[in-house]
């Protein structure tokens, strides 16, 4: 189904801050204060709060640290599996099982070291789960992996974000691994959103579970490199942000069995300025609900569900690498109504998370730190 593409103008720009401090930053609905919450990280990639208020932080090189509510940072915890942190790969997302309070299970996505000598093989995205006890992971087990034939020397487009829906199904993203046509193939896991039971089993109602030759975990396809994924708190719909090439970054509402078009349709072009395709739309290929041109390089996203910014309730927070921004995107009935830039600290953003205190936490790269956003008094 095709929809009219909504591309709203940016109506406000937050003040640029080269050094994060407690100055008030004006936005349309609030003045906010940005303060460093925790620091000393090496490329923090994902944030996930524990029920007791502590914060899990993955670092791309393959470590996990725990931040206490007072902002103190632990040493790397034990038991993290070996990670291939080369190119765009490394340790990526971490999420809690919906019943974490009883089973202590966490899920990790990362690029696994591949077979071969030295740097000969890069590997592929895998999903593991493990029990988090004290400052260690134990009982690590594989939930998702691919056959060795899919492993590649290419060091980019691994994805990978993880979410659980309200029914306990596990969704995760894998990029096209730089092999564009494979995003359209049902016989490869590249360029897809995948869906599993929490233990890695294939749900019987997956859209291609009965299709001969298909990768049965596929939920949607035609994706380039989705590095943001979140579940809408009110509707339960899954949204992803996706890196386009030069231009054509996308915000997509993910639906069962739908083709999102890459690389047959795109609003982007090759990095050298040549066209990828002349088509921006095609029958049977879904349109993004928003695209960014020029590219902002969207990464982690989160629907705000706290109480400190009530006028932002259920609005999508979008981080950006290239433009070094945090954006607020207002979505109603699957359509973008408005977006604004609310924070520009002069640093690449990797992730954003609503804290249990209702404040907003963002992971920044240069230098590696966690910044907390609160309403100004």
Residue 13 lies in a domain: no
| pLDDT tens column, 325-377 | 999 999 999 999 999 999 999 999 999 999 999 999 999 999 999 999 999 98
Q: Residue 21: is its pLDDT beyond 70?
A: no
Look at residue 6 and tell me if it is in a domain.
no
| φ and ψ of 264, to 5 deg | -65, -35
Asked, for residue 11, whether it belongs to a domain, the answer is no
Cα Rg of the chain (Å, integer): 20
121, pLDDT greater than 90: no
Q: Provide the pLDDT for residue 87.
A: 82
* Residue 2 counted as domain residue: no
- CA–CA dist 154, 175 (Å, integer): 11
Domain extent at residue 135: 24-375
Structurally, the chain folds into a number of domains equal to 1
Let me know: does 360 contact 309? Beta carbons within 8 Å.
Answer: yes
Tell me, yes or no, whether 246 lies in a domain: yes
Query: Does residue 186 surpass a pLDDT of 50?
Result: yes
Name the active-site residue from 157, 223, 243, 315.
157
- pTM, two decimal places: 0.92
pLDDT of 13 > 60? The answer is: no
Mean of all residue pLDDT scores within the chain: 91
* Residues β-bridged to residue 329: 316, 339
Instruction: For residue 178, tell me if it sits in a domain.
Output: yes
**What pLDDT, on a 0 to 100 scale, did the predictor assign at position 11?**
34
Bridge partners, 336 (sequence order): 331
Instruction: Report if residue 279 sits inside a domain.
Output: yes
Cα separation, 318 vs 300, in Å, equals 6
User: In this structure, is residue 16 part of a structural domain?
Assistant: no
Q: Which of 29-33, 156-160, 333-337 has the lowest mean pLDDT?
A: 156-160
Distance CA 338, CA 132 (A): 39
Q: Establish whether 157 is a catalytic residue.
A: yes
> What CATH code is carried by the domain that includes residue 210?
2.120.10.30
């Amino acid at each position: 189904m095709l929809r009219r593409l909504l591309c709203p103008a940016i109506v406000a720009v937050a003040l640029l801050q080269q050094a994060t401090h407690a100055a008030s930053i004006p936005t349309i609905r609030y003045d906010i204060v940005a303060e460093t919450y925790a620091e000393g990280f090496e490329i923090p990639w994902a944030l996930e709060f524990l029920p007791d208020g502590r914060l899990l932080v993955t670092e791309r090189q393959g470590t996990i640290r725990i931040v206490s509510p007072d902002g103190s940072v632990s040493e790397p915890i034990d038991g993290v599996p070996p990670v291939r942190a080369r190119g765009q790969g490394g340790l990526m997302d971490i999420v809690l099982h919906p019943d974490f309070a009883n089973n202590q299970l966490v899920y990790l996505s990362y690029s696994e070291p591949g077979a071969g000598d030295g740097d000969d093989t890069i590997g592929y995205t895998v999903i593991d789960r493990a029990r988090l006890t004290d400052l260690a992971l134990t009982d690590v087990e594989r939930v998702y992996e691919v056959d060795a034939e899919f492993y590649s020397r290419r060091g980019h487009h691994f994805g990978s974000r993880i979410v659980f829906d309200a029914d306990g199904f596990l969704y995760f993203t894998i990029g096209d691994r730089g092999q564009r046509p494979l995003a359209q193939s049902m016989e490869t896991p590249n360029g897809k959103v995948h869906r599993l039971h929490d233990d890695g089993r294939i749900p019987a109602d997956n859209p291609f579970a009965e299709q001969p030759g298909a990768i049965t975990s596929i939920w949607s396809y035609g994706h380039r490199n989705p590095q943001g994924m979140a579940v809408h708190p009110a509707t339960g719909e899954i949204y992803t942000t996706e890196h386009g090439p030069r231009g054509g970054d996308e915000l997509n509402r993910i639906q069962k069995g739908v083709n999102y078009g890459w690389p047959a349709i795109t609003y982007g072009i090759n990095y050298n300025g040549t066209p990828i395709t002349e088509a921006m739309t095609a029958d049977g290929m879904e349109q993004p609900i928003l695209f960014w041109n020029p590219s902002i390089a969207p990464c982690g996203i989160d629907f705000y569900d706290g109480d400190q910014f009530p006028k932002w309730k259920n609005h999508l927070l979008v981080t950006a690498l290239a433009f070094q921004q945090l954006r607020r995107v207002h979505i109603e009935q699957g359509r973008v109504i408005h977006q604004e830039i609310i924070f520009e600290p002069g640093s690449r953003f990797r992730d954003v998370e609503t804290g249990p205190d209702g404040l907003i936490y963002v992971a920044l790269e240069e230098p590696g730190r966690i910044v907390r956003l609160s309403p100004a008094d």
